[in-house]
Structures are given as C-alpha cells and as structure tokens.
Amino acid sequence: MARPPLVELDRASLRRFERNLDALGTVVVPSAAKDAARSAGKQAQVLLSVAFRRHIGGGPAPATRIHPGSASSSVLVVESKTTADEIGIDLQVSPRAARWLQFQLGDRKRRRPGEVGVAHSANWVPQTKRLRRLGFRMPYGNLAMGTLAELVAMSQSQTSDTTGGVFYREARKKSAAGFYRRTGRDTAPQLLVAAARQSRYRGNMKLQAAWTNAVERAGGRMTADAAREIMKRVDRMAKGGNGGGKVDGPTAFEK
C-alpha cells in the first residue's frame, strides 16, 4: 500500500489565492480607499453641523441644516472623478442652501433685493434684539412672515415721526431708510428694520475657519482609515481559505 505524500499542493486553493492577489490591487485597495473617503466626508459633515449650530446667528434654518449622510443635507459629500490610484471627495453646499450660505461662507460679498427671501423692493435687515423686545417672532434671526405688514400697519397710524411709535423713514445723511421707533417725543429713534438697496457681507469668519478645520481634520484621518480597511479585508481573505498548501491536516489557509 502506497504511503501518502507528506505535502500535497491544492491547485484549486492556489488558483483562489492567485485571484485574490490580483483582486487586492484592482478591487480591494480602491474599494477600501473609497469607503475611507466617504467616511471622512461624513465625519466632516458632523464637525460642520456642530459649527453651524454654534456660529450661525439664531441657528441654521431648515434649509441650511446639515444632515450627515443624507441627500437632504445643506452640505453634501460629492465624489470626484477617481482612478485606482486616486480617490477624491469634495464638500459642496447644496444649490438650495447656497442662496443663503454663499454670504456666510464668503462666496459672495453683496446681496441685491430679491436674491434671498420674498421681498424684491429692498433687503430688509432686522435689528433682532429690538424686535424681540417688542414681541415680534424672529425665527433663526430672520423676519417672520407678516412682520413687515404689521410694521406698515403700525406706521400708518402715526401722523408724525416726531412722536412716539413706529414709523417708516427714507434714508438720510447719517441714517438708513427703514422702520424706526420712538419711545416718546424728543427721544432718538431706534432702527427696527433697515431697507437697503444692497447689503454688504464680510462673511462669517468663524464659520469659514470651521469649514477648513473640518476638512483638514477629516482628511487627515483618511489615509490611516484606508490602511485599516485594507488590512481588515486582507485578514478576511486569509481566513477565507485563500492559501495554497496542505500539510498533514487542516491549516489556516484551508477553506
């Protein structure tokens, strides 16, 4: 009776191992890198959502809120054109949110009437604290629906802008056009809502710095995350039987 060989090559296992080595460079590495890039983008969204709540006056409105991983987010993770050697993602403001955020993020410096909001005759710039003291609602720091109509009605009851109450006044040498309020005769009027032909924005420097910080922090982790993903997949490949030898019984390479 012939004795069995001490070492027996399993050709099927060798072919499996060869295919997985090929896949390591063409499938596993690019796939792991893409997953790491997507994870970095989502992490940047999370960091930015905290910054939006902290640095946007009144907090972000529904249209400018960030929902990490969601297509309805005001800031989206967009994959750029990729190859096996180059993986890229970008953070972009959604077209809807860009109408408001372009001024906060410094993309635009001037706003003309009608570009944002429902008013087309002027940019109505509220003095939030003063209006709130008078009982007006200021959702997210903006004028609530019907506020202008209420101010118009209040100003129409005034016969003169020298007595107490709310009135509208055209621009003067040292004061803007808009709705004002006097607390009594001979007191200086307080601006409630300015009517501007155009508004100038310096940009929200804290928000812009937070954007840069979020991208750098998330991007700095991407290479390490990709390496961990690759090692996880290589480990799964090894445990799945992608070897080529059989030595006197089962080994870690056997399926």
Higher pLDDT, 202 or 22: 202
Q: Which amino acid is at 45?
A: Q
Q: Is residue 253 part of a domain?
A: no
Domain match, 18 and 128 both: no
Q: Is residue 179 part of a domain?
A: yes
Q: Is the dihedral of CA 133, 177, 194, 114 positive or negative?
A: positive
Q: Is residue 254 part of a domain?
A: no
- Domain limits for position 78: 7-105+203-247
Domain match, 12 and 88 both: yes
Separation of CA 250 from chain center: 52
- Kindly state the tokens that stand for 116: 């944002």
Domain match, 92 and 208 both: yes
- Kindly state the tokens that stand for 26: 């063409």
Residue position matching structure tokens 């993986």: 87
Domain match, 87 and 209 both: yes
Domain match, 127 and 183 both: yes
Give the mean pLDDT of the chain.
Answer: 77
Give 148-206 pLDDT, tens digit per residue. 888 888 888 765 566 668 898 888 888 888 999 988 776 788 999 998 888 787 878 99
Q: Is residue 113 part of a domain?
A: no
Q: Is residue 131 part of a domain?
A: yes
Residue position matching structure tokens 């006097």: 182
pLDDT band at 248 (very low <50, low <70, confident <90, very high): very low
Yes or no: say if 182 and 189 are a contact pair by the CB < 8 Å rule.
yes
Q: Is residue 95 part of a domain?
A: yes
Farthest CA pair distance, the chain: 122
Q: Is residue 184 part of a domain?
A: yes
> How many beta carbons lie within 10 A of that of residue 65, not counting itself?
18
Total domains in the chain come to 2
The answer for 106, left when phi > 0, alpha when psi is -120 to 50, beta otherwise, is: left
Domain match, 183 and 209 both: no
Give 24-81 pLDDT, tens digit per residue. 666 677 777 788 888 888 889 999 999 999 988 778 888 899 999 899 999 998 877 6
Q: Is residue 255 part of a domain?
A: no
Domain match, 18 and 58 both: yes
Instruction: Give pLDDT, residue 235.
Output: 75
Instruction: Give pLDDT, residue 241.
Output: 47
Domain match, 11 and 124 both: no
Domain match, 150 and 232 both: no
- In this model, does residue 249 exceed pLDDT 90? no
The answer for 57, left when phi > 0, alpha when psi is -120 to 50, beta otherwise, is: beta
Residue position matching structure tokens 């998330």: 218
Least confident of 107-111, 121-125, 147-151, 156-160: 156-160
- In this model, does residue 252 exceed pLDDT 60? no
pLDDT above 90 as % of the chain: 12
Residues 255 and 247: their CA atoms lie apart, in Å, by: 14
Domain match, 185 and 129 both: yes
Domain match, 148 and 226 both: no
Q: Which amino acid is at 166?
A: V
